[in-house]
C-alpha cells in the first residue's frame, strides 16, 4: 500500500476506539430507557470499555512483537466486529456490558499495531511526521464522535451507532486483509513469554527518559478527556448555549488541532522531534497557567474559556506524536510492547481525569479549569524532571 493511502488508513484504524468510546455518549439516556435501568448503570459501561481497552493493549503489544503486526490486527478487528454486531442484537444490560468489554479488547489491537507498523516503516523525524497525522486522528475522534452519535440518534435509534461502527470495522478488516503487508520479518520477532513480557514492561518503566515521555503524554491528553467530560455541562447548562452552538465551539478545537498538526508535519523534519516536543511542552505549560489565571474568576466569561481551551487542545497532537517518536526510538526491538504501555497510560490517565471531574463537580466550570490547568503543569514537570535530566545524564 502506497504511503499516501497507508497513512489515512492507519489514522482511520487508530480512530476506532475513540469513536467507540464517545459516539454512544449522547445515546446513554435512550439506552438506559430501553434496558429499563438508571443512567448511572449505563455510565459504568464507559469504565468497562476503558478497562477492556487497557487490558487488551497490554497483551496485544507483546503479541505483535512475537507473531507479527498483521495477524494481531486482523484478530482484533474480527473481535471488535463481532462485539459491535452483538450489541445491536443484545437484549439486556448484562449482554451490553460484556459485549462492550469484548469490543474494547478487540479495539486495543488497532491502536498498538498502528504505532508499531509505522515504527517498522519509518524512523526519527520522518516517523514523527507520519505519526502526527495518526495522533491527530486519535485526538480528533473523541471530539467529533459525540456529534456523529447525536446525528445518528436524531435520524435513527441508538443501535444505529453500533451498526455504523460495525460497517466501518468491516471496511477496515477488508482493507487490512487485502492491502496491509506484514512489516515485522520473522528474524526480528521475539518469542512470546509471559514472564518476559512483564520484565519488558519493567525495563521500559525503569527508563527515566521514556517514563517521563509517557507521563508527559498521559497528563497532556488527560486535559482533553477532562474537557470531554465537563464541557457539555459547562457550555450548555452553565453558560446556556444551545446544542448546535456547542457543536460549533467544539469545531474550534478540531480546527486548532488540524492547524498545529499541519505545522508539526512541516517543521519536524527541519528541527527534529526533540526540539519540537520541548517547545510544545513549554508552550502548553504557559497556556495551562494562563488557562487558570484567565478563567478562575470567569472574568472573560465563555469567550475566555473557549479561546484558552482551544489553545490547550490544539497542542495535544503535536506533543503526542513526538512523545511516541521518543518512546519508540528507545525500544525499537519491542516497539509493540512500548506502544501498548504508552497507550494504556494515556487512556488510564484520561479515565482518571474524568473521574476527578465528577468528584469535584460543584455546579461551576471551576473543576474543569482546575483539572485542565493541572494536567498541563504535570505534563511539563514530568518531562523536565525525568526526561530532560535523563538526557543530560547520558
For residues 1 and 9, give the distance between their C-alpha atoms in angstroms, rounded to a whole number.
10
Residue 60 contacts by C-beta under 8 Å, 6 or more apart in sequence? 72, 76, 108, 109, 112, 113, 336, 340
pLDDT at position 78 is 94
CB-based contact 99:49 (threshold 8 Å): no
pLDDT at position 3 is 59
Half-sphere exposure of 96 (CA within 13 A, CB side): 21
Instruction: Return the residue matching grid coordinates 445491536.
Output: 88
pLDDT at position 380 is 96
Identify the CA nearest to 351 among candidates 32, 126, 35, 53.
53
For residues 279 and 283, give the distance between their C-alpha atoms in angstroms, rounded to a whole number.
6
Question: Residue ranges per domain, the chain?
Answer: 3-393
pLDDT at position 200 is 85
Half-sphere exposure of 16 (CA within 13 A, CB side): 34
Q: Pick out the chain residues at pLDDT < 50.
A: none
pLDDT tens string 15-24 = 887 788 778 8
For residues 90 and 97, give the distance between their C-alpha atoms in angstroms, rounded to a whole number.
10
**Alpha-carbon distances, residue 20 vs 59, 156, 365 (angstroms):** 20, 17, 27
The class (CATH top level) of 3-393 is mainly alpha
pLDDT at position 311 is 93
pLDDT at position 313 is 92
For residues 57 and 343, give the distance between their C-alpha atoms in angstroms, rounded to a whole number.
8
pLDDT at position 40 is 64
Q: How far apart are the first and last CA of the chain?
A: 39
With 0.85 as the threshold, say if the pTM is over it.
no
Amino acid at each position: 500500500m502506497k504511503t499516501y493511502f497507508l497513512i489515512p488508513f492507519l489514522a482511520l484504524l487508530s480512530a476506532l476506539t475513540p469513536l467507540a468510546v464517545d459516539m454512544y455518549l449522547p445515546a446513554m439516556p435512550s439506552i438506559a430507557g430501553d434496558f429499563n435501568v438508571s443512567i448511572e448503570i449505563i455510565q459504568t459501561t464507559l469504565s468497562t470499555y476503558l478497562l477492556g481497552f487497557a487490558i487488551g493493549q497490554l497483551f496485544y503489544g507483546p503479541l505483535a512483537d512475537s507473531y507479527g503486526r498483521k495477524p494481531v490486527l486482523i484478530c482484533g478487528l474480527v473481535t471488535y466486529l463481532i462485539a459491535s454486531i452483538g450489541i445491536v442484537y443484545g437484549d439486556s444490560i448484562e449482554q451490553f456490558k460484556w459485549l462492550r468489554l469484548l469490543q474494547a479488547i478487540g479495539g486495543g489491537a488497532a491502536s498498538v499495531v498502528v504505532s508499531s507498523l509505522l515504527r517498522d516503516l519509518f524512523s526519527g523525524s520522518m516517523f514523527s511526521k507520519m505519526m502526527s497525522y495518526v495522533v491527530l486522528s486519535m485526538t480528533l475522534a473523541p471530539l467529533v464522535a459525540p456529534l456523529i452519535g447525536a446525528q445518528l440518534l436524531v435520524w435513527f435509534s441508538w443501535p444505529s451507532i453500533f451498526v455504523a461502527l460495525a460497517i466501518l470495522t468491516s471496511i477496515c478488516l477488508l482493507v487490512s486483509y487485502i492491502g496491509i503487508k506484514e512489516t515485522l520479518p520473522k528474524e526480528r520477532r521475539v518469542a512470546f513469554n509471559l514472564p518476559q513480557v512483564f520484565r519488558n514492561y519493567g525495563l521500559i518503566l525503569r527508563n527515566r527518559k521514556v517514563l517521563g515521555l509517557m507521563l508527559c503524554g498521559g497528563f497532556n491528553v488527560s486535559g482533553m478527556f477532562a474537557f470531554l467530560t465537563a464541557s457539555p455541562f459547562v457550555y450548555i447548562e452553565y453558560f446556556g448555549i444551545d446544542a448546535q452552538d456547542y457543536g460549533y465551539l467544539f469545531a474550534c478545537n478540531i480546527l486548532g488541532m488540524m492547524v498545529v498538526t499541519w505545522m508539526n508535519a512541516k517543521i519536524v523534519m527541519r528541527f527534529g522531534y526533540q526540539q519540537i516536543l520541548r517547545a510544545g511542552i513549554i508552550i502548553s505549560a504557559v497556556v495551562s497557567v494562563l488557562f487558570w489565571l484567565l478563567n478562575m474568576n470567569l472574568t472573560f466569561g465563555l469567550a475566555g474559556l473557549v479561546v484558552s481551551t482551544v489553545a490547550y487542545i490544539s497542542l495535544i497532537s503535536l506533543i503526542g506524536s513526538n512523545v511516541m517518536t521518543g518512546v519508540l526510538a528507545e525500544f525499537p526491538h519491542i516497539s509493540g510492547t512500548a506502544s501498548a504501555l504508552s497507550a494504556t497510560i494515556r487512556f488510564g490517565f484520561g479515565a482518571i481525569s474524568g473521574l476527578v471531574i465528577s468528584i469535584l463537580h460543584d455546579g461551576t466550570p471551576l473543576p474543569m479549569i482546575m483539572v485542565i490547568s493541572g494536567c498541563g503543569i504535570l505534563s511539563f514537570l514530568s518531562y523536565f524532571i525525568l526526561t530532560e535530566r535523563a538526557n543530560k545524564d547520558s
